[in-house]
């Protein structure tokens, strides 16, 4: 397997960067922040939101539940409240499967 450099991860992400990561409007990220108590980005002196890695992880989980699994807001809130560990585990499995698929597609493209 070829060597791959680990991505350098930033300490803080601004809301515009987070919006691009998830292909969601900034207003949606702000709305999710109000709706889900697991999202608590820091704010600088100017009031700009600064998302840490934990916030990004929680946003990935919320995005997965709402957009990929098709849950409603109330359904996602209840699911996170009652099954947080299971939700984290399922997201990890989905991410692993996506990376395996990407690797297999890359190998297929190299062969052809």
* Second-level CATH architecture of 13-82: Orthogonal Bundle (1.10)
44-61 per-position pLDDT tens digit: 999 899 999 999 999 999
Tokens representing 84 are: 């947080």
Q: pLDDT at position 7, please? A: 66
Q: Using CA atoms, how far apart are residues 112 and 37, in angstroms rounded to an integer? A: 48
Q: What is the pLDDT of residues 76-106, one digit of tens each?
A: 999 988 888 888 888 888 889 989 999 999 9
**Predicted confidence (pLDDT) per residue in 59-74, tens digit:** 999 998 999 889 999 9
Tell me the HSE value of 51 on the side-chain side, using a 13 A CA sphere. Answer: 24
Residue 35 has pLDDT above 90, yes or no: yes
112 pLDDT more than 80: no
**Where do the H-state alpha helices sit in 8-72?**
15-22, 26-35, 53-63
């Amino acid at each position: 397997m070829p060597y791959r450099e680990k991505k350098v991860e930033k300490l803080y992400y601004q809301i515009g960067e987070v919006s691009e990561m998830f292909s969601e409007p900034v207003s949606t990220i702000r709305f999710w922040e109000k709706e889900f108590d697991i999202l608590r980005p820091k704010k600088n002196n100017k009031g700009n939101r600064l998302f840490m890695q934990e916030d990004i992880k929680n946003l990935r989980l919320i995005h997965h539940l709402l957009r990929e699994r098709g849950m409603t807001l109330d359904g996602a809130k209840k699911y996170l409240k009652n099954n947080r560990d299971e939700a984290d585990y399922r997201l990890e499995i989905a991410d692993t499967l996506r990376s395996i698929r990407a690797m297999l597609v890359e190998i297929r493209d190299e062969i052809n």
